[in-house]
């Protein structure tokens, strides 16, 4: 049944008894044409585009837990595309284009809200770096503009633009198409749309082994729900990518770190946009429910524990209280951690691996949510055709051999 206001009204008269399951909960088949490992936003989007644009219907997405239960449901939902390097610009802006009508395409309100994403400059080096972004983005046709401190204050009135603070705001960039979306809805929307096209979403189906034939190519998966034969596997397992790839004997330039986020108690609207400060490490927006959504940093050590130290959260709140002194009396309601897979150049790896039939999409670090539609779209092309989409072609594993890194971190201190 289509999601629409009319159907919602109709259902409200019958106690909403008529809504079907949003996705099927099938038993695994013995074989699929392709299997995606990881039912997060990126994995589900991959499967959806493989079905919708490449006509592959006999495919599955497997996950050791519940769909959308990993980083998709744990991030601060920031969306933007004002990256520095041309390769990144193309990738993230492709995603931003897809965000525009994702709700309509999926028939699921993902609540993409282009509220504007502002990045603060606190020193002259920041100003130089951010202006370089503005110029690069303008050439690429990506909206990103420079704001004076006064203009920044006007856009986000609770911002402390006083010159008397420790690190005064010297200006900001603003991407007006940047914003937020409802993270769970993205996973659920892709799952529902993919399932409707015939994609089997197999939850609680943990991959325990990747089997290979005599030529070394992928031949199937061993899972907790039985063996699955397939010649094509796309791994989209975020923080657990190293573990999954290890089953095929593939080592990657990846490290997994805890990343924390937190929300305040809900309050009436006080924050109209997304504000990011890489320099003093603070990221904040306000959800539709009224919670201030705050991104903290990663812990310094590799961990799969999905928890981090309190000092990481308090450090972030130092900065939040400095930027937004009115929030000091608000309270932290909930904090949580995810496992982020980080590459040496802070850009993702999307492409082939040394094992024929095995593809990987990983390394999104702390900023993968915004790329969800674009990542799924280009990776679907990669897995379905075996060849990269032009947009993901530069994001190879081979760049670590050649040295042709796409280093967003080096230029901007931190990529988010």
Partner 1 sequence: MSGQHRTPRGGRIDRARPIRFTFDGHVYEGCHGDTLASALLAHGVHLVGRSFKYHRPRGFLAAGAEEPNALCTVTRDRARTEPNLRMTQVELYDGLDAASQNSWPARGFDVGAINDLLSPLFAAGFYYKTFMGPRAVGGTTMWAKLFEPVIRRAAGLGRPPTEADPDHYANRFAHCDVLVVGGGPAGLAAALAAARAGRRTMVCDENPEMGGALLTHPAAEVDGRPAAAWAASAVEELRRLGATVLPRTQGFGYYNHNFVALTERLTDHLAHPAAGAPRERLWQVRARHVVLATGATERPLVFPDNDRPGVMLADAARAFLHRWGVKPGTEAVVVTAHDAAYRTALDLHRAGVRIARIVDPRPRPAGPALDAARAAGLPVTAGGTVIGVKGSLRVSAALVARSAGAGATDHEAVPCDLVLMSGGFTPAVHLFSQSRGKLRFDAATQRYLPGDAAQAQSSAGACAGAWGLAAALDGGSAAGAAASGGEALRHAVSGDHPEDGGGTLGTLPHGRDPSRVKAFVDFQNDVTAKDIKLAVREGFKSIEHVKRYTTTGMATDQGKTSNMNALAIAAGALGRTLPEVGLTTFRQPYTPVTFGTLAGAARDELFDPVRRTPIHGWAEARGARFEDVGQWKRAWYFPVAGEDLHAAVAREVRATREVAGIFDASTLGKIEVVGPDAAEFLNRLYVNSWSKLGVGRCRYGLMLNEPGFVMDDGVVGRLALDRFHVTTTTGGAPRVLHHMEDYLQTEFPELRVWLTSVTEQWAVIAVQGPRARAILEPLVEGIDLSSGAFPHMAIREGAICGVPTRLFRVSFTGELGFEVNVPSDHAAAVWDAVWARTEALGGVAYGTESMHVMRAEKGYVIVGQETDGTVTPDDLGLGGMVGRAKPDFVGRRSLSRPDLVAPGRKQLVGLRTEGTAVLEEGAQITPVPDPKRGAHAIGHVTSAYASPTLGVPIALALVENGRALTGQTVYVPMPGGAIPARVVSPVFYDAEGERLHG
Partner 2 sequence: MLLIPCPYCGPRPELEFRNAGHAHIARATAADDQGWAETLFYRDNPKGVIAERWRHFSGCGRFFNALRDTVSDGFLASYRVGEPRPAAPPPIPEGEAPRIGAGEEPRP
Contacts to partner 1 from residues 313-352, by CB under 8 A: 313-314, 317-322, 325-336, 344
Tokens of 42: 């990126």
Give the CB-side neighbour count of residue 394, counting CA atoms within 13 A: 15
Binding site for partner 2 (CB under 8 A): 240, 242-243, 251-256, 300-305, 307, 309-311, 343-344, 400-402
302: partner contacted, choices partner 1, partner 2, none (Cβ within 5-8 A by kind): partner 2
Contact between 19 and 11 under an 8 Å Cβ cutoff? The reply is: yes
Distance CA 197, CA 117 (A): 34
Contacts to partner 1 from residues 59-78, by CB under 8 A: 65-66, 68-69, 73
From the list 227, 253, 266, 356, which residue makes contact with partner 1 (rule: CB under 8 A)?
266
From the list 26, 30, 53, 138, which residue makes contact with partner 1 (rule: CB under 8 A)?
138
Contacts to partner 1 from residues 27-66, by CB under 8 A: 65-66
String of DSSP letters for 16-77: TTTPPPSS--PPPPSB-SEEEE--SHHHHHHHHHHHHHH---SEEEE-SS-TT-SGGGTS--
DSSP 413: S
Nearer to partner 1, 110 or 233 (CB): 110
Tokens of 398: 């081979």
Q: What is the per-residue binding string for partner 1 in 84-103, x denoting contact by CB under 8 A? A: --x---x---------xx-x
101: partner contacted, choices partner 2, partner 1, none (Cβ within 5-8 A by kind): partner 1
Min dist. Cβ of residue 301 to partner 2 (A)? 4
15: partner contacted, choices partner 2, partner 1, none (Cβ within 5-8 A by kind): partner 1
Q: End-to-end alpha-carbon separation of the chain, Å? A: 37
Helix boundaries (H) for 70-111: 86-100, 102-106
Sheet-wide strand order for 226-229:
207-212, 218-223, 226-229
Contact between 135 and 180 under an 8 Å Cβ cutoff? The reply is: no
Tokens of 143: 């909206």
Nearer to partner 2, 8 or 243 (CB): 243
258 sits in which H/E element: strand 255-264
381 sits in which H/E element: helix 372-385
Distance CA 75, CA 389 (A): 27
Contacts to partner 1 from residues 174-193, by CB under 8 A: 176-177, 179, 182, 184-185, 188-189
Nearer to partner 2, 325 or 344 (CB): 344
Nearer to partner 1, 84 or 237 (CB): 84
51 CB-near residues (< 8 Å, 6+ apart): 57, 59, 194, 197, 198, 199
Nearer to partner 2, 165 or 405 (CB): 405
Nearer to partner 2, 137 or 256 (CB): 256
336: partner contacted, choices partner 1, partner 2, none (Cβ within 5-8 A by kind): partner 1
Min dist. Cβ of residue 308 to partner 2 (A)? 9
Query: Of 9-17, 234-242, 244-252, 387-395, which part binds partner 1 (CB under 8 A)?
Result: 9-17
Is 196 a binder of partner 1 (CB under 8 A)? no
Helix (H, G, I), strand (E, B) or coil at 207: strand
Min dist. Cβ of residue 154 to partner 1 (A)? 16
Min dist. Cβ of residue 400 to partner 2 (A)? 5
């Amino acid at each position: 049944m289509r999601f629409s206001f009319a159907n919602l009204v109709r259902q409200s008269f019958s106690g909403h008894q008529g809504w079907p399951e949003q996705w099927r909960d099938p038993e695994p088949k013995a074989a699929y044409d392709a299997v995606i490992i990881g039912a997060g936003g990126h994995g589900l989007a991959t499967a959806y585009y493989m079905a919708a644009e490449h006509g592959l219907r006999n495919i599955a997405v497997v996950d050791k837990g519940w769909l959308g239960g990993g980083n998709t449901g744990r991030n601060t939902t920031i969306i933007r595309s004002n990256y520095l390097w041309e390769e990144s610009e193309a990738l993230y802006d492709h995603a931003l284009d897809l965000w525009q009508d994702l709700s309509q395409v999926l028939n699921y309100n993902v609540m993409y809200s282009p509220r504007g994403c502002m990045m603060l400059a606190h020193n002259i080096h920041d100003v130089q770096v951010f202006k370089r972004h503005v110029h690069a983005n303008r050439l690429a046709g990506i909206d990103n503009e420079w704001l004076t401190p006064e203009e920044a204050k006007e856009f986000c009135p609770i911002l402390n633009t006083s010159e008397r603070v420790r690190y005064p705001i010297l200006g900001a960039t603003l991407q007006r198409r940047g914003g937020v979306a409802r993270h769970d809805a993205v996973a659920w929307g892709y799952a529902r749309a993919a399932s409707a096209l015939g994609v089997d979403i197999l939850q609680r189906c943990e991959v325990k082994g990747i089997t290979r034939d005599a030529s070394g190519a992928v031949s199937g998966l061993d899972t907790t729900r039985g063996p699955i034969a397939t010649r094509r596997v796309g791994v989209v397992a975020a923080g657990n990518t190293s573990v999954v790839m290890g089953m095929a004997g593939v080592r990657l330039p990846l490290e997994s770190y805890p990343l924390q986020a937190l929300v305040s108690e809900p309050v009436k609207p006080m924050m109209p946009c997304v504000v990011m400060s890489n320099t003093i490490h603070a990221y904040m927006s306000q959800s539709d429910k009224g919670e201030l959504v705050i991104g903290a940093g990663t812990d310094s050590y590799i961990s799969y524990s999905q928890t981090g130290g309190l000092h990481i959260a308090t450090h972030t709140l130092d900065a939040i209280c400095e930027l937004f002194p009115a929030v000091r009396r608000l309270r932290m309601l909930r904090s949580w951690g995810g496992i982020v897979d980080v590459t040496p150049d802070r850009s993702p790896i999307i492409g082939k691996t040394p094992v024929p039939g095995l593809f990987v999409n990983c390394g999104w670090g702390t900023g993968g949510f915004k790329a969800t539609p674009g990542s799924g779209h280009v990776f679907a092309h990669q897995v379905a055709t075996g060849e990269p989409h032009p947009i993901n072609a530069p994001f190879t594993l081979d760049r670590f051999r050649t040295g042709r890194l796409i280093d967003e971190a080096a230029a901007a201190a931190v990529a988010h």
